[in-house]
Amino acid sequence: MHRTLFSTPVVNTVLRALSLAFLKLAGWKVEGALPASARKSVLIAAPHTSNWDLPYTLMVGFALHLNLYWMGKASLFGPPFGPLMRWLGGIAVDRSKSNNLVAASAQALREADGPLQLVVPPEGTRGRTRQWKTGFYFIALEAKVPIVLAYMDYQRKVAGLGPLFTPTGDVERDMEEVKRFYAGIKGRNADQFDAQ
């Protein structure tokens, strides 16, 4: 995987300190810790209802000593911001092409030399959606890594890492269990998130 701000020495230390200070001043509490068994994992990014989710996710990633990579629509990676987005941990996703993103992501997780947490929003968009996409689930299943139920509750100003979830292959039953965890969590634009 490409170098990011999480793997850049000195910058990482400075940004971690700034992130902790900002989150504290803004009244946010960060909970949880990444278990050793989840050094390589898929993090659900839910709810995803605002552009503010990315900077907060990056700051929480620093606070929790994570090595985050995240998926974003390809248009974010065009000139002039493409190199910056990749340095922020971004991986471009071209939704107009039918490429095998699940297989490529699973392979990248398996082959990573060190810790890697791949952040995937199950809604696939910031806008209101009734149906969650299952890409995160199949990436974890194929890579044989756990899913971390990460969250950002804007109502309570609490963000962090919830329990680990190991996909069983029964996607319908597993998705019901995952969605139950997110039922009471409110995004920045709460009316755009539905964990049902």
| pLDDT 10s digits, 6-38 | 989 999 999 999 999 999 999 999 999 999 999
Pairing of β 158-165 and β 147-153? antiparallel
Beta strands in 55-136 (DSSP E): 68-73, 90-93, 116-120
What is the domain count for the chain? Answer: 1
Residue 126, pLDDT score: 46
Q: In what order do the strands lie in the sheet with 90-93?
A: 29-31, 158-165, 147-153, 40-46, 116-120, 68-73, 90-93
| Average pLDDT estimate for 183-188 | 83
Q: What is the mean pLDDT of the chain?
A: 86
pLDDT tens-digit profile of 120-158? Answer: 888 654 444 566 888 899 999 999 999 999 999 999 999
What's the predicted TM-score (pTM) here?
Answer: 0.84
Provide the domain limits for residue 33. Answer: 5-192
Pairing of β 158-165 and β 90-93? unpaired
DSSP one-letter string for 17-73:
HHHHHHHHHTT-EEE----GGGSEEEEEEE---STTHHHHHHHHHHHTT--EEEEEE
